Amino acid sequence: MASKSVSVPHRLRWPLGYTAVAVLVFLAYYYVIPNLGPDAQTFFRNWLPLTSVNEALVWVICALGLNIVVGYAGLLDLGFVAFWAIGGYVAGWLMSGKFYDVNFNFLGGASGPGIHISFWLVLIVGGAFCALWGVIIGAPTLRLKSDYLALVTLGFGEIIPQVFLNGDNIGGFNLTNGAQGITPVDPIAIGSTKLGPFDLVWKYLIFVGIAALVVFITLRLREGRLGRAWLAIREDELAASMMGVPLMRTKLAAYAVGAVAGGLGGVAFATHVNGVLPDRFNFSISITLLAMVVLGGMGNVWGVILGALVLAWINSTGLPQFGTSFNDQFGTNVNFPSYNFLLFGGILVLMMLFRREGILPESRTRLILKEPSRTDMESLHADMEEAAPELDEDLEPVIAADGTGEKA
């Protein structure tokens, strides 16, 4: 919140705040921490290493994409990992020596056989390819009710990683190297400098930039016609379609835009871990992303970012590190990382039971989620006709005949 005395235009508030936080973190890791004493350095290396910050940013990018699908449009997607995987493999194909019989180099981060294209171009290609797949996955599922939709996306989330896993022999063609995955992926190249494995600070800046782009897209869309159409669909699909919202196009757009963010996250992740491995892309990633969105507050960008940062940190660093400290302190031997199942499951259940709108709720979401779908008074009369369709069939000719709807 900017204070009253310094008047900042409303539309500039978040970019300024975001940039300030990002620059502070950058300065902390670039200047401050390397100059601290050895104890403080050890503390940061154990509890807040830059690599886990970078990984958390990848989660933020993907969670923001899922937020568009689940939080804005209200379509439960349980297979979001598919887009992450597709983005990762696009990076694997276009930024490595995988296709060694093709020699193509365009501003790439490495030389030699294979396709080496600039990271920035691959980001665009990965995003576009994922958008295409978002439409392909979305198109057949749009007619479905919400819970069926969840299952179909889950099915795609299972099929696509399996295709990558078994993709070393598709009709004799080696597409994905199978279980070995594609390693190494080219480093990010900026002009003639290449970011090596230890240039984490610069990668951090790049990832923050991608996240900012996704935040920007999300917030702008939210205000516009498309975003309002998404919210209308989320709140009442039937009413929205009656008001002239084109359901098909709007839902497809949600899938496509969400998928773009997933693809950007996938490309970024491939450069972060310097490779793509198929066994990383499993169902628990989809659920973790969902937990991030639900924990932070469905529909609210800042809530989702907070949820993603917190959960990603707990998953990658917090829980194992806490376990090490706890075991050292008390001489126990508890395997803390295995508790993440309990943690994520518990978060989903408890949030749904006690605080459905998340930690940082969006004001609209709070209203909708607090309100029961029908009140008790309404439900007294509801569905009387639905219950006996055979009766309706009998009555239909009578109603049609005299037009008044009264029994003849």
Q: What is the binding site for other proteins (CB under 8 A)? A: 70, 74, 76, 78, 140-141, 143-148, 150-152, 154-156, 158-159, 162-163, 165-166, 238, 283, 287, 290-291, 294, 338-339, 341-342, 344-349, 352-353, 356, 368-369, 372-374, 379-380, 382-384, 386-387, 397-398, 400-402, 408
- Dihedral sign (CA 352, 355, 360, 363): positive
Cβ-based burial of 165 (10 A; exposed 0-12, middle 13-18, buried ≥19): middle
Cβ-based burial of 255 (10 A; exposed 0-12, middle 13-18, buried ≥19): buried
Alpha-carbon distance 71 to 300, whole Å?
8
- In this complex, which beta carbon is closest to other proteins, that of residue 55 or of residue 237? 237
- In this complex, which beta carbon is closest to other proteins, that of residue 27 or of residue 334? 334
- In this complex, which beta carbon is closest to other proteins, that of residue 194 or of residue 356? 356
In the bound complex, what is the minimum distance in angstroms from residue 308's beta carbon to other proteins?
Answer: 17
**Contact status, residue 239 vs residue 34, Cβ threshold 8 Å:** no
- In this complex, which beta carbon is closest to other proteins, that of residue 25 or of residue 76? 76
In the bound complex, what is the minimum distance in angstroms from residue 53's beta carbon to other proteins?
Answer: 26
In the bound complex, what is the minimum distance in angstroms from residue 335's beta carbon to other proteins?
Answer: 9
- In this complex, which beta carbon is closest to other proteins, that of residue 9 or of residue 171? 171
**Contact status, residue 204 vs residue 57, Cβ threshold 8 Å:** yes
Alpha-carbon distance 301 to 171, whole Å?
44
Alpha-carbon distance 158 to 266, whole Å?
17
In the bound complex, what is the minimum distance in angstroms from residue 148's beta carbon to other proteins?
Answer: 6
In the bound complex, what is the minimum distance in angstroms from residue 368's beta carbon to other proteins?
Answer: 7
Mapped onto helix, strand or coil, the DSSP state of residue 172 is: coil
In the bound complex, what is the minimum distance in angstroms from residue 154's beta carbon to other proteins?
Answer: 7
Strand partners, 193: 190
What phi, psi does 190 have (nearest 5°)?
A: -115, 105
Amino acid at 6: V
- In this complex, which beta carbon is closest to other proteins, that of residue 251 or of residue 272? 251
Alpha-carbon distance 110 to 69, whole Å?
36
- In this complex, which beta carbon is closest to other proteins, that of residue 97 or of residue 307? 307
Distance between start and end Cα atoms, the chain:
68
Question: In the structure encoding, which two tokens stand for residue 21, read together?
Answer: 């936080």
Q: Which helix (H) or strand (E) segment is 104 a member of? A: strand 103-106
In the bound complex, what is the minimum distance in angstroms from residue 156's beta carbon to other proteins?
Answer: 7
Give the single-character DSSP code of 198.
T
Question: In the structure encoding, which two tokens stand for residue 278, read together?
Answer: 């198929």
- In this complex, which beta carbon is closest to other proteins, that of residue 101 or of residue 393? 393
- In this complex, which beta carbon is closest to other proteins, that of residue 90 or of residue 369? 369
In the bound complex, what is the minimum distance in angstroms from residue 399's beta carbon to other proteins?
Answer: 10
In the bound complex, what is the minimum distance in angstroms from residue 352's beta carbon to other proteins?
Answer: 4
How many residues are recorded in the chain?
408
- In this complex, which beta carbon is closest to other proteins, that of residue 259 or of residue 347? 347
Q: What letters, b where the CB count within 10 A reaches 16 and e where it falls short, cover 63-87?
A: bbbbbbbbbbbbbbbbbbbbbbbbb
Q: Are strands 103-106 and 114-117 parallel, antiparallel or unpaired?
A: parallel
In the bound complex, what is the minimum distance in angstroms from residue 178's beta carbon to other proteins?
Answer: 10
